[in-house]
Structure 1
């Protein structure tokens, strides 16, 4: 008999090695018992002949709109994760698509820079993201660099500064139509023995810490974190509970990380075993 599992949409780029992007998102959804639906925004492939630099190819905006239309016509979707967008034209079409229907949860993982982009183009994309997509977000999940950039801070070197960045990012979110959240991800790059993330809801600060597993970044950790939050929200969890589970998912995935010929390992979403 047909079933109706929890559903979630992801709007993000493809990362050909499988370690990040929409590949990581859909694997995370599946591991957490959520049926994933995808809209592809760009194709990123590392170049093994050039220091594993990014090769970035945007998807035509009309094709993005068509994918979104097909996905939302097929399924009753109330939860969406927004990942890599990459160009102002992509930002515009995604913002327009988001505004075309109501959402219960919009999780924005604000990927600000792709190494395959020119600096000027990246800045234009960042500006468009702030102006057009950030206002739709109910949960924003910047990493250390993204949090500092969005907050207008030169750098973040402590939990206190990470908390201040979360406050500043939250101040940019619209008020008056429900609680909105910022999850500032410190990860391996924040100094200290623990991987620290800060959750801020406009009033209360929650600090989540777990011992670091090495000092190097693991590809896909940020994507997996935001995707796990999205999946848990689609299942009916509240944001604080979703963030705690996402922290556990990422920790397990880093512990069981997948080795590769790249200079970095990748998260293994399959390492997490949901309770029950």
Structure 2
């Protein structure tokens, strides 16, 4: 039996994040992955490794999704970087053309390199059009603050409060990630299902964020859900995979390392 996982996300040209990372994660977890490109992001080595962002035409995004859902029986999808209101509209419209058992949203709220006004429009559209469709949402520290409307998240109790506030906006499950941002020796994430809080904790691997960790985490949850795992098992597998991937990270000429998925 083949388990399929679908991803709608951007290409990150170095292979350290984005749809490249998603597909590598699916493969590592024995899931057949396929996806639609929403944008192309290229780091600019001549400008402090900033982001160069090129959106894919919305009709091309729709065409990609139409082809994939016609080809295979797909029930589990991960949503990554969308980047513009037009892209969000196209993806939201395409998602409603068939039922999905699992929609995992990695809420990339800010597209680096966008003007502040454009970024705000994108954030608003994402929350209005995509968040209500999600069954699982995996915000990082910054995204959790933004979605929850909180000024600060300084400890695990704050992280739990953020997860509860985001859950009230519609998703069945919220995994709020503390990562390297919370003080202390442990990287703590919390899962809230509307009733219970489950805490996942592993010793930190350094204090610096590693490129692709968030993509890998959400993709691993997607892969496990596609195989029929329950949400707690899916998050546990994702947490372990990301922790090992950070330990095995790949250094580069950029001022950051990239995660390496090795289950």
TM-score normalised per structure 1: 0.94
Task: Give the drift of 1:145.
Answer: 0.3
Which residue matches 1:200?
Answer: 192
| Root-mean-square deviation (Å) | 0.7
Task: Give the drift of 1:254.
Answer: 0.4
Which residue matches 2:233?
Answer: 241
Q: How does 1:80-91 map to 2 (within 5 A)?
A: 80-91=77-88
Report whether the alignment pairs 1:262 with 2:254.
yes
- Encode CA deviations 1:173-223: one digit per residue, 9 max, x unaligned: 16xxxxx10000111111111000000001100111000000000000000
CA separation in 1, counterparts of 2:22 and 2:199?
Answer: 24
2:97 pairs with one of 88, 97, 100: 100
SS in 2 for 1:242: helix
SS in 2 for 1:187: coil
Which residue matches 1:139?
Answer: 136
Q: How does 1:1-276 map to 2 (within 5 A)?
A: 4-173=1-170, 180-269=172-261, 271-272=262-263
SS in 1 for 2:178: strand
CA separation in 1, counterparts of 2:55 and 2:150?
Answer: 29
- Encode CA deviations 1:238-262: one digit per residue, 9 max, x unaligned: 1111000000010010010011111
Q: How many residues align?
A: 263
Task: Give the drift of 1:5.
Answer: 1.4
What 5-or-longer segments of structure 1 have no aligned partner? 175-179
CA separation in 1, counterparts of 2:112 and 2:105?
Answer: 20
Task: Give the drift of 1:96.
Answer: 0.6
Task: Give the drift of 1:75.
Answer: 0.7
What 5-or-longer segments of structure 2 have no aligned partner? none
- Encode CA deviations 1:135-176: one digit per residue, 9 max, x unaligned: 1100000000000000001121111111110000001016xx
Task: Give the drift of 1:105.
Answer: 0.3
SS in 2 for 1:28: helix
CA separation in 2, counterparts of 1:82 and 1:60?
Answer: 17
CA separation in 2, counterparts of 1:190 and 1:13?
Answer: 28
Query: Runs of at least 4 residues of structure 1 off by over 3 A?
Result: none
CA separation in 1, counterparts of 2:107 and 2:117?
Answer: 17
TM-score normalised per structure 2: 0.99
CA separation in 2, counterparts of 1:119 and 1:100?
Answer: 32
Task: Give the drift of 1:73.
Answer: 0.5
CA separation in 1, counterparts of 2:2 and 2:249?
Answer: 28
CA separation in 2, counterparts of 1:37 and 1:123?
Answer: 30
